[in-house]
Structure 1
């Protein structure tokens, strides 16, 4: 009985790992930010619950299917070979239907409890991540990172449209911040594991154009993030506290990137960690200092 219980617990843990909980959490934070700006305050609790549940399930389902389709290359890389599918702790067919089920449930929740526009953007984000990024571009072009960023930048748009049922410039500004943030965030990891990607045959920027080129590109994107991060202030979405905080956070990000670029070490563990912290703090402070 104890053995069976442990197997079930291990199995449950493997399925949870497939959903990439850390990424789901970031998706929920940015989705909620979009909802706050649409409502200019806390939206109805019921709507928040269903929107976050639907968006979270879509993110989780997309992550599962991404790992299903990438299970062959994940097995070749040190960073990913211990994931549930390469290890064989979850059967590929089980992972596939698990991902499909999560996505299906997500779309049903969004359709019945939010509105068609929010449902459309949820489906569009999943389509972009699975079909455009994972299946079409990842194994063919280093541009997969930049083009695929459309999917990762969609959560605040989903949150905003779930409340309003329409688009405006505000969610597009939030989209732009996340879109510019994603490539430098990923490239730090891609540089660290460049040999891994080379072995697996994935044409990431460091593999195709070299580490120095990728570092410079990372710096350019991070520098571009500074003025873009201030747009919520200039457009009247957030106040002076946000302006000062965004400026400081972005300058620290830029300084850390400069240090990374000038270093001969390919590892940028702290920079990668800071990029996640940066986005979480930026959106949290934006909500705290939102102009009503």
Structure 2
């Protein structure tokens, strides 16, 4: 009996981990941080904790559902890619039917939470982002154009807007500038990883930029997007949304990101590509952290 209970417990724990892996928790965490910052920028004194929790859980659930749908759509190419061959659907530890029902459950629960406990606008925008990633990007753009990550990046750029609308129930220029920042950041973030996984994408016949145009062209494009990030990142200052503290942080972080991209051009190896990839993640954390700290500092100074 003890042995049987141990086996059942192991199976439950193992399945829980497999379902969690389908959700791409690290990606969801990054998106969720930008959404929460969007909430706090909209109203840092917000005390409606029920809505705050519902919005956070709802946005996270919608992002996780999109990730599960992505696993389902990509299961065929995941089998031939080194980076993805250990995913649950490839290994057969979960079936496509189980993943589909899980994705439907996440979608239903998250969108209902947002519709009834937050507001319909946030629910509709979340559904739009989910469909943009799971259907438009994964099923169409990914396999048809080398600009797939650029055109499909809008869905992943929506979380700050979702956080903002959770509080204000309206769209305004401030969160749209944050969406633009993530939209421009996405290619410079993803293409270094695509360079490092070039053989995988060639094997899977996915037309990522380094596959279709070569690594040298992709490195130049990464530099171009990091250069574009510099003026885009200071737009919040131009409209009075942020102040000097954020401006200095954005320029320093942008300079660091740009230097990493330039080093990738000077030392074109896969180690440099992964270094640039990780720098891009730290950059986004840093920029959104600076936005929030600057906002709270200015409020404290005025009080």
Which range, TM-score by smaller chain? over 0.9
Offset, 1:142: 1.3
Which one of 51, 75, 88 corresponds to residue 47 of structure 1?
Answer: 51
Counterpart of 2:168 in structure 1 is: 164
Offset, 1:234: 2.0
In the alignment, does 2:118 pair up with 1:114? yes
TM-score in terms of structure 1 length: 0.97
Cα pair 1:35 1:160 within 8 Å, conserved: yes
Counterpart of 2:291 in structure 1 is: 286
Cα pair 1:36 1:43 within 8 Å, conserved: no
Cα pair 1:181 1:225 within 8 Å, conserved: yes
Counterpart of 2:190 in structure 1 is: 186
Separation in 2 of the partners of 1:143 and 1:97? 31
Counterpart of 1:142 in structure 2 is: 146
Counterpart of 2:224 in structure 1 is: 220
Separation in 2 of the partners of 1:65 and 1:197? 20
Separation in 1 of the partners of 2:64 and 2:21? 10
Counterpart of 1:6 in structure 2 is: 10
**For each residue in 1:23-55, what CA deviation from the matched residue of structure 2 results, as whole angstroms up to 9, or x when unmatched?**
111111111111112214445222211111000
For structure 2, which runs of at least 5 residues remain unmatched after alignment?
none
TM-score in terms of structure 2 length: 0.94
RMSD: 1.1
Separation in 2 of the partners of 1:210 and 1:94? 38
The count of residues paired between Structure 1 and Structure 2 equals: 292
Separation in 1 of the partners of 2:17 and 2:147? 33
Cα pair 1:35 1:43 within 8 Å, conserved: no
**For each residue in 1:262-287, what CA deviation from the matched residue of structure 2 results, as whole angstroms up to 9, or x when unmatched?**
21313422211111111011101111
Which one of 61, 64, 76 corresponds to residue 80 of structure 2?
Answer: 76
Counterpart of 1:271 in structure 2 is: 276
Secondary structure of residue in 2 paired with 1:139:
helix
Larger Rg: 2
Secondary structure of residue in 2 paired with 1:29:
helix
Offset, 1:236: 1.3
Offset, 1:135: 0.8
Name whichever of 35-44 and 108-117 sits farther off.
Answer: 35-44
Separation in 1 of the partners of 2:219 and 2:107? 35
Name whichever of 258-267 and 6-15 sits farther off.
Answer: 258-267
Q: 1:127 to 1:271 in 2, by over 3 A?
A: same
